[in-house]
Amino acid sequence: MRPTLDDKRPIFQQIREMIEDEIVDGRLLEESQAPSTNQLVAYYKINPATVLKGLNELVDAGILYKKRGVGMFVAKGAKATLLNERKQVFQEDYVARMLQEANRLGLSVDDVQQMIDSMKKRGDAK
């Protein structure tokens, strides 16, 4: 779990994103139990309804599922679903913008690829 939450974004979104990050990073495996509402409430000292809103968004998206009386668990295929969503967002938010700026600068795709390769060699991108 993140040590703190920030004040710039809704807390329920941060809770949702934190659990998504743990799934993507492999800290929460498919079919494993997600942190409980009570754990998150106690750790962050926040309202249970706020935590539930974030968790329920993950349930609605098919990332988590509820076992009555036991808690919430990571659904099968959750990691693949999240990775696919994030790749799409990455392409739209970063790659498309990068290519637009490259076009403005008169750079070819090969020029951009050379820049990426150079950054990788320097260790700036891992």
State the alpha helices, DSSP H only, in 2-108. 11-24, 37-44, 48-60, 78-90, 96-105
Specify the fold of 11-76. Answer: Arc Repressor Mutant, subunit A (1.10.10)
Residue 43 CA to residue 85 CA, distance in Å, equals 28
| Residue-level length of the chain | 126
Q: What is the pLDDT of residue 126?
A: 56
- Give pLDDT tens digits for 53-79: 999 999 999 999 999 999 999 999 999
Q: Is the pTM of this model over 0.85?
A: no
